[in-house]
Amino acid sequence: MSVLLEVEGLKTEFLTRSGSVRVVDGVDFVLRKGETLGVVGESGCGKSVTSMSIMGLLPKGQGRIAGGDVRFHGKSLLTLSSREMRQVRGNRIAMIFQDPMTSLNPVFKIGSQIAEALRFHLSISRKEAWSQAVDMLTKVGIPRPERIAQEYPHQLSGGMRQRVMIAIAMACNPEVLIADEPTTALDVTIQAQILDLMRDLQKEQGTAIMLITHDLGVVAESCQRVVVMYAGQVVEEAEVRTLFKHPRHPYTKGLLASLPQLAGERKRLDPIVGSVPNLGEMPEGCRFAPRCSYRTEACVQIEPDLIQLEQGHKCRCILYQGGKP
């Protein structure tokens, strides 16, 4: 499959009262045409900041890209002007944000918000944009689309608002869709419906999806490859089956061990001790070392690189240089 999006050595910093803090530190991955790439990790690991860096949506005066590159079809997005980036954003690369209630404008009708994106990127008439907006509401499984198009965000349920967000994101047939926690705060039944909807639209339009989540169950069901992030870095990358059957990084093993088992012998959950380090006060050596049960003396002295283990499987762990944990 051809590569659509390349993130290489991405470094993103935020300005704080105590100085500059690096939130994303040397992130690398690629997204290929038609695939779903899962990006997982605890809250605060840099998943959402990575997506905002790709989309060029970092808050002005607070966040900046300090290094690396983001390429779309081989062309750097970081060299585009604001006007050029607006032509890409929402058109060729679209995003579903984490909270649809804060992402939708409360004073505009649903149909108007979908039509606005269509008119901006496709230069079509107001009437045609409205007709296509209603068609998109039908595509995402919203009943009575003509009526819903005339309503406001507060009149819809959480699941319906998320469907509207998907309709806005997919309206211009983007090549890449970044979905940031698209099923958060939804009940299990609605979660399944949203994931099914995204898969159906992907098959229909051939869209590549970058799925950001902390839910490994969603990853197992929806993704072909997985990137695991911890404290602003990628610590493991593999195909989804490989990751679940043969996790290599101690953090990935800890995430999988903390999942409840519904079948077989019951056992106590094995949580990861400690918490994610303060991004402004990173520990020496490996960032996961203070929480790692495999750590050695070298782990707290040397910061490991992301190394290739097998084809398509990468891991950031010093223990693999001298043995397998």
What pLDDT score does 323 carry?
46
Q: Which of 42, 99, 55 is nearest to 213 (CA)?
A: 42
In this structure, are residues 276 and 42 in contact, taking their beta carbons and an 8 Å threshold?
Answer: yes
d(CA 227, CA 211): 10
Classify residue 284 as left (phi > 0), alpha (psi -120 to 50) or beta. beta
Tell me the pLDDT of the chain (325 aa) as tens digits.
699 999 999 999 999 888 899 999 999 999 999 999 999 998 889 999 999 999 999 999 899 999 999 999 999 999 999 999 999 999 999 999 887 778 899 999 999 999 998 999 988 999 999 999 999 999 998 999 999 999 999 999 988 998 999 999 999 999 999 999 888 777 888 888 888 888 888 988 889 999 999 888 889 999 999 999 999 999 999 999 999 999 999 999 999 988 776 665 566 777 888 888 888 889 999 999 999 989 999 999 999 999 999 888 999 999 887 544 5
Q: Which of 100, 102, 80 is nearest to 91 (CA)?
A: 80
CATH of domain 3-92+174-268: 3.40.50.300
**Helix, strand, coil percentages in the chain from 3-state DSSP, rounded to 5:** 35, 25, 40
The pair phi, psi for residue 13, each rounded to 5°, is: -125, 150
What does the radius of gyration of the chain's CA atoms come to, in whole angstroms? 21
In terms of C-beta density within 10 A (0-12 exposed, 13-18 middle, 19 or more buried), how is residue 207 classed?
A: buried
Q: Residue 48 is encoded by which pair of tokens?
A: 């959402």
What pLDDT score does 78 carry?
96
Q: Which of 245, 252, 270, 136 is nearest to 197 (CA)?
A: 136
Q: Which of 175, 127, 125 is nearest to 4 (CA)?
A: 175
d(CA 220, CA 155): 33
Q: Where are the alpha helices (DSSP H) in the chain?
A: 47-55, 82-88, 100-103, 110-122, 126-139, 145-148, 158-170, 188-205, 216-222, 240-245, 250-257
d(CA 260, CA 256): 9
Question: What pTM, to 2 d.p., does this model score?
Answer: 0.91
Q: How many CB atoms lie under 10 A from the CB of residue 62? A: 10
Q: Which of 163, 167, 158, 145 is nearest to 90 (CA)?
A: 167
d(CA 278, CA 282): 6
d(CA 285, CA 302): 4
In terms of C-beta density within 10 A (0-12 exposed, 13-18 middle, 19 or more buried), how is residue 255 classed?
A: buried
Q: Domain-by-domain residue ranges, the chain? A: 3-92+174-268, 103-171
